[in-house]
Structure formats: structure tokens, C-alpha cells
A = this chain, B = another copy of it.
């Protein structure tokens, strides 16, 4: 399974922090991890319902929050007011999002270091954090 390793890694990470692995929580994590794109809590909840997994919406929110707290999910507030989440156990990087299918590709931020140094001098700002998002059309959709 493609996401198997990442899944088990997250399972272990949760276990280390004394989280219990219940059926609803695991159902949310599996569905979420297999997705590979940003999704809202509501949408994820609906998918689980369709699969006959008895999971409350509140549990979906709580699980996503838990995953975020252990660094396994990225949160992206949308213009409309909703929040989209992405299963994403990798440390610090950025995303390129396909505007057609929603697929997400990872972008390392190593190549941005020089740019950041230049900006630091130019703006007289000590930059300590950044957030980049790229949007476009992926290989398969174009």
C-alpha cells in the first residue's frame, strides 16, 4: 500500500504520546491518509458515512486537530471560511495544488534560502518563517 509506511509511522507517533487507537479514530486517519489532497472536515465526514463508518463530525474535527498537533496534518484556511486539511507527516515544506483534481505535490524550500537572505537585507526584516502555496494544473489534468 502506497501510504502504508506513513500511516504506520503516524500510528506509532500517536502511540508514543499515549493516544489510544480507537476504531473511529483509525477510520478517520486511514481515509484521510489515503486521499492525498486537501479536504474539509465535513467532506471527510461524509466520505466516512458513505463507507458505513459510524463516526461523528466532532470526532473528525478532534482527530484532525490531534494529527495537526503531532505534525501529521497541514491546515489551510479557505477564503470561504472553511478549513481544509492535508495528511502530511513530512516536516517543513510547501505544496503545489492542482486546481482541477486537487492533487498535491511537495515542494522543498531549500532553493528559497537565497531569496530569503536577499529579502532580509532589502526589507530590513529578520525573516523567521514563510508560507508558500502554488496553484496550477498537474501533469494528468493538462
Interface residues, chain A, CB within 8 Å of chain B?
Answer: 75, 77-79, 81, 83, 96, 98-99, 105, 107, 111-112, 115-116, 118-120, 123-139, 142
Q: Report how many copies the assembly holds.
A: 2
Establish whether residues A133 and B131, one from each chain, have CB atoms under 8 Å apart when the complex forms: yes
Question: A134–B130 Cα gap in the complex (Å)?
Answer: 4
Q: Is the CB of B139 within 8 A of A134?
A: no
18 contacts between A and B (CB under 8 A): A81-B81, A96-B127, A99-B128, A99-B129, A105-B123, A105-B125, A107-B119, A112-B115, A124-B139, A125-B134, A125-B138, A126-B136, A126-B142, A127-B135, A130-B134, A131-B131, A131-B133, A132-B133
* Residues in chain B near residue A130, CB distance under 8 A: 132-135
Complex: chain B residue closest to A111, CB-CB: B115
Min Cβ gap A61→B in Å is: 12
Among A75, A98, A125, A138, residue most surrounded by chain B Cβ atoms (within 10 Å): A125
* B79-A75 in contact (CB<8A): yes
Nearest to A106 among chain B residues (CB) is B123
Contact A111/B118 with A127-B134, A135-B130, A136-B129 known, Cβ cut-off 8 Å:
yes
- Kindly provide the distance from the CB of A72 to the nearest chain B CB, expressed in whole angstroms: 17
Contacts A77-B78, A78-B77, A99-B128; A123 near B107 (Cβ below 8 A): yes
